[in-house]
Structure 1
């Protein structure tokens, strides 16, 4: 996918090696543009988290460069990267530092010198954005996993970044909490913030992403729209991935190859259009109408 506009974040990483000698990433070129959701998919050890942590200078390339909002990032201005690129870690507890939820969301603002009253107002606005106003007086460490993810997200949103990065945002969540987090990702995007996320859940990636990047062995081995990536069998096989369930069902029922549904709603629409005058079809979960 080619873009002519200037990226918000542009990473060129020839190599990143961890202290134990493990090569986490190599020969990676990765950019994030305005008004997009990018999903990184790949197996364990593919390099997804390593790439994400380079986007706000939590990690830095051994050989390469990170440019954020037109500014090359050095040791002296990492703060610029961390303000423009908000990071929500997979382990939400690592970001919860204050005695109450409201204090926690205010924490980053206060570090930037925002006054108490203004910080409190902005923190409450951020909590409202993630539908968590009712949690403001709760103790963060007693929240559920999904609630902690939302508070971590609010703590990033309050700093008004250009890009938000989420590392495995659905990990360990039940379906209801996963739906809630997915809804907030969509809302953030609608509010004009670009989102980059890693996930093992390709159905989730198909639902929320404008662009999908496939990682394997520390490199981005392919990218494109969900329709391009999730119907590319060779690409998915190279990364030991299976296509989302709607893609598999579309093939099983013999849909025209030009139709490329990647979400359940797209698949249902196509099947409904094609079977309006025929017997009811079996539902996606394998059950039929009784």
Structure 2
């Protein structure tokens, strides 16, 4: 399990306060770390402070009171570029970061800003696009890409800088199931290549499926953290954050099964249900019945 106390975090944020110019308090007394080789899901209701926290991780925002360390180095006005290079940020709205006339030009853009010669930048950009299976898009105009394609290009645009951590704000927002599955596969590929991943999501089924660790935000603070199993079976914590458990947790409880294993994913739930005698239906049939009854209330 990543995130052991004896490990040095890649990113260590301690934010005593962050207030927006209009006086809105975005975060207070928040601590958040990202460790090597982990996927962290940040969950919470709308307005909980997820996006604000994430924009602090690469110094897009800076705390009014607090400190950001990236690989042990304190980040200030003079070395924000270190945070931007080591912590790549993929925005929820991909149009925010797609600015060049072609996809290849866009992925090259960050490298060119760091003084990489054009030909070298072009080759590295092609490699980054291939990494996310988007090489075929290199000559396309970003504006005309689908939402899922834009997310892939945005991901390539941060991967090309060889970051230690990638931050994705609501990576599945607005995508259909097929494109969501594609993005999930690419996130897993990036993690398998040794990059830690932080993502925010309202989809707790997705969080349960992909995360090693879950952090819960409420009212601008991180109010709970742990493995998906620890967090999603903590009823008091979920109530406090106005969140509903993932589908697998709800179905397991309704069926009165899995008290020892505590399934949090569909695969884990099917395994538990198919091992239970006398249920009268397979695990898959139980999940289908839950879906037909409107079981998705989270």
TM-score of the superposed pair, with normalisation by structure 2: 0.94
Q: For residues 65 and 77 of structure 2, what CA distance do their matches in structure 1 show?
A: 14
Secondary structure of 2:7's aligned partner: coil
Q: For residues 43 and 147 of structure 1, what CA distance do their matches in structure 2 show?
A: 27
Q: For residues 51 and 254 of structure 2, what CA distance do their matches in structure 1 show?
A: 34
Task: Determine the structure 1 residue equivalent to 2:169.
Answer: 167
Shift of 1:120: 1.2
TM-score of the superposed pair, with normalisation by structure 1: 0.96
Q: What do residues 73-129 of structure 1 show as CA deviations (whole Å, max 9, x unaligned)?
A: 001110000000000011100100111111111111111111122111111111111
Shift of 1:44: 0.4
- Aligned equivalent of 2:259, options 257, 260, 280: 257
Residue 77 of structure 2 corresponds to residue 38 of structure 1? no
- Aligned equivalent of 2:116, options 114, 117, 120: 114
Matches of residues 147-186 of structure 1 in structure 2 within 5 Å? 147-186=149-188
Matches of residues 239-278 of structure 1 in structure 2 within 5 Å? 239-275=241-277
Shift of 1:2: 4.7
Task: Determine the structure 1 residue equivalent to 2:70.
Answer: 68
Shift of 1:285: 2.2
RMSD, matched Cα: 1.4
Q: For residues 85 and 56 of structure 1, what CA distance do their matches in structure 2 show?
A: 5
Q: Which stretches in structure 1 are left out of the alignment for 5+ residues?
A: none
Q: For residues 218 and 234 of structure 1, what CA distance do their matches in structure 2 show?
A: 18
Task: Determine the structure 1 residue equivalent to 2:105.
Answer: 103
Q: What do residues 198-250 of structure 1 show as CA deviations (whole Å, max 9, x unaligned)?
A: 00000000011000000000000000000000000000000000000011011
Q: For residues 44 and 255 of structure 2, what CA distance do their matches in structure 1 show?
A: 27
Residue 281 of structure 2 corresponds to residue 280 of structure 1? yes
Task: Determine the structure 1 residue equivalent to 2:95.
Answer: 93
Shift of 1:183: 0.8
When structure 1 is superposed on structure 2, of 13-22 and 116-125 the one drifting more is 116-125
Task: Assess, with a 3 A threshold, how the Cα gap between structure 1 residues 62 and 257 changes in structure 2: closer, same or farther.
Answer: same
Task: Assess, with a 3 A threshold, how the Cα gap between structure 1 residues 217 and 287 changes in structure 2: closer, same or farther.
Answer: closer
Q: What do residues 231-289 of structure 1 show as CA deviations (whole Å, max 9, x unaligned)?
A: 000000000000000110111111141121111011111212234x874333302189x
Task: Determine the structure 2 residue equivalent to 1:137.
Answer: 139
Task: Determine the structure 2 residue equivalent to 1:13.
Answer: 15
Between the two proteins, the alignment pairs up a number of residues equal to 287
Secondary structure of 1:283's aligned partner: helix
Moved over 2 A (4+): 277-283
Q: For residues 162 and 116 of structure 2, what CA distance do their matches in structure 1 show?
A: 13
Q: For residues 209 and 152 of structure 1, what CA distance do their matches in structure 2 show?
A: 21
